[in-house]
Structure 1
């Protein structure tokens, strides 16, 4: 619980105008503080007192408290010594205040603000009063938490925190984009290209992607959460149904739908593409047609493909690209950002993907199985990470035990190979890929187990993370 006690000792600016700004800034800064979260976990709240004063009062306070005979915008008076967000000494029992109902709170300190000075500064800087006022409250709260700007290093840290909190409050194009299309059309390659890293494995085999993978692209001007979905197909087992459910859920979640087709296809809108487009348009979502692999198809193929979809649906944008060749990607990103709703950021800047290192390691192992077994083991395997541990204090060292499930006994024989040669090759290539991803030394152990019918057993699909638990 955050308690904000206010007092207004000036007449030009009303509390109804400033209180919401203080409340919002305090929520962003204080809920982000590990110290405050630890207190709240123990049932202890935090209190900040803040006061609005006029120019003459602010000048007087500044002269009395700091020896500076001039008006300023905000002054912070910490209740205790704090160092970079943590108390310099343990909190004593007498510092806990009773607020009634048996609830306790800790006073962080006082903020004194001159809204007239804030308004003048906002005009000088060319932005609004609300932006300047919010920024200064964030600045003052960070001082209460023990952040300073006396040295270059301290100033850099404090500026970074202020920028992060301010960015979280600014409205920009922000939302979800679902990338859909048939298997092997290039969706995962596009996701990896936009993300500038490998988040979804890619092979020349259809249905390589089994889950909706999220990658968050964040800049000062936009935030795009990309959802790479399993390929559109007619499911034949429980695994296929789970994959199509993931695709349907991603389309429902998305603000913009990007439908990917192959530039070499005949000018015809397939039933699977039509189904997802109609689902999206019925829900009022923008739809972009992404024509991929333009570097491998005659240029005269492009316009007829666009015309077919334009005649049927009048989509919001048509973008030819080569995901593998990184051609047309910037224009596609521009179109996606243009169609997103304008809102506050949905994710922290550090939140780049929903794929954990453990999940990515499993996918890299599965990729090597697909690559090295060719057509012999099409889709009958999945990988579960049984152990993922870091040891040592120097160079990062990760120990991974991975269990490979096969749907048939013959699949196990193929994966293991004669004299264990193939499983050794899979392990070596997987280990190198995981070491590159983790920037660490990796010890990888692979175990192959036959599990008949796992693709049709919900419990196994849940264990593999391919189906949500009820």
Structure 2
């Protein structure tokens, strides 16, 4: 195909800079998990934007931060590894927050790859502020590093999402599509299901939990004798009994709610009815223990 481009892009930015929401807006379906809690994306979920003139594969990285635990360190290594493998990087900074030390920390890391890989500055969440503030944020971002391009967008109301898609695609190498048409992500279904459960478990929970929740889908199989029902057995791991109590809620009400929400999203993702069996387990200090990190998939 003449002039057809295909390649990889990733969005980086502080936790909660709107990276996953932007991925979903570009792909047009919910694949990366979004939560108001920072640090919810753990896996490199790829969203695939299929266009007549190219294919843009979005790799979602965890937010880069100054690590405090072994898990934090592993996540950061994962981020840098991803950056070195993509064709273009989008650096997301929300319009409603001042450019801070966290952003400058990331920019300093990005400078190291900017010679090889174009970095596009993206001001996200423009729907939350005035045009004047968007303009000021673009100027502030310009001073942080030398970008290949700068663009304001809003995933919420679709402002400039298509323009961003054009811009990123233009920076990809020419070449044939890398994935068959119709595919939206190459993550195994079990990983996506685990992420949806994790997202439901995080909703409305106090701030001490995000890092401490891991979900492992033990098995996913069709119910015997029925092709319209899938049995999903999953364990939600936390580090302490007090956290278990938070997720369980009064008389198990909260866990029930988590199950209902997660099941709805899983059924939508897989297009089939689901029986979801959830258990909460305690894995003491799993974020600091290499053996447990491996067992939980990190």
Shift of 1:246: 1.6
* Contact preservation (8 Å) 1:174, 1:223: yes
Report whether the alignment pairs 1:330 with 2:162. yes
TM value normalised by structure 2: 0.93
Report whether the alignment pairs 1:259 with 2:84. no
Q: Find the aligned partners of 1:457 and 1:198 in 2 and give their Cα distance.
A: 32
Shift of 1:333: 0.3
- Between stretches 356-365 and 329-338, larger displacement belongs to 356-365
Report whether the alignment pairs 1:384 with 2:236. no
Backbone CA RMSD of aligned residues: 2.0
Q: Where does residue 269 of structure 2 map in the other structure?
A: 437
Q: Where does residue 181 of structure 1 map in the other structure?
A: 13
Give a deviation string over 1:279-310, Cα, whole Å, max 9, x none.
2213x111111100111122222233323443
Shift of 1:394: 6.0
- Between stretches 350-359 and 446-455, larger displacement belongs to 350-359
Change (3 A) 1:259 1:373: same
Show structure 1 runs of 5+ residues with no match.
1-166
Q: Higher RCO, 1 or 2 (CA under 8 Å, sep at least 6)? A: 2
* Structure with the higher helix share, 1 or 2: 1
Q: Where does residue 251 of structure 2 map in the other structure?
A: 419
* Residue of structure 1 aligned with 2:205, choices 373, 381, 389: 373
Give a deviation string over 1:62-97, Cα, whole Å, max 9, x none.
xxxxxxxxxxxxxxxxxxxxxxxxxxxxxxxxxxxx
Q: Find the aligned partners of 2:15 and 2:99 in 1 and give their Cα distance.
A: 18
Q: Where does residue 72 of structure 2 map in the other structure?
A: 240
Report whether the alignment pairs 1:364 with 2:196. yes
Q: Find the aligned partners of 2:143 and 2:237 in 1 and give their Cα distance.
A: 46
- Between stretches 349-358 and 360-369, larger displacement belongs to 349-358
Give a deviation string over 1:251-279, Cα, whole Å, max 9, x none.
11111010000112335673223123202
Shift of 1:351: 4.0
Q: Find the aligned partners of 2:53 and 2:256 in 1 and give their Cα distance.
A: 47
* Residue of structure 1 aligned with 2:55, choices 219, 223, 246: 223
Q: Find the aligned partners of 1:459 and 1:350 in 2 and give their Cα distance.
A: 38
* Contact preservation (8 Å) 1:212, 1:229: yes
Decide which structure has the larger Cα Rg and report it.
1
Q: Where does residue 295 of structure 1 map in the other structure?
A: 127
Q: Find the aligned partners of 2:63 and 2:191 in 1 and give their Cα distance.
A: 19
Q: Where does residue 111 of structure 2 map in the other structure?
A: 278
* Contact preservation (8 Å) 1:214, 1:228: yes
Q: Find the aligned partners of 1:415 and 1:200 in 2 and give their Cα distance.
A: 22
* Contact preservation (8 Å) 1:171, 1:344: no
Matched residue SS, 1:199: coil
Q: Where has structure 1 moved over 6 Å in runs of 4 or more?
A: none
Change (3 A) 1:322 1:386: same
* Contact preservation (8 Å) 1:211, 1:246: no
* Contact preservation (8 Å) 1:257, 1:280: no
Matched residue SS, 1:373: coil
* Residue of structure 2 aligned with 1:456, choices 278, 288, 297: 288
Shift of 1:348: 2.8
* Contact preservation (8 Å) 2:21, 2:34: yes
* Contact preservation (8 Å) 1:268, 1:305: no
Q: Find the aligned partners of 1:415 and 1:308 in 2 and give their Cα distance.
A: 41
Show structure 2 runs of 5+ residues with no match.
none
* Contact preservation (8 Å) 1:259, 1:287: yes
Change (3 A) 1:312 1:272: closer
Shift of 1:312: 5.2
Change (3 A) 1:267 1:215: closer
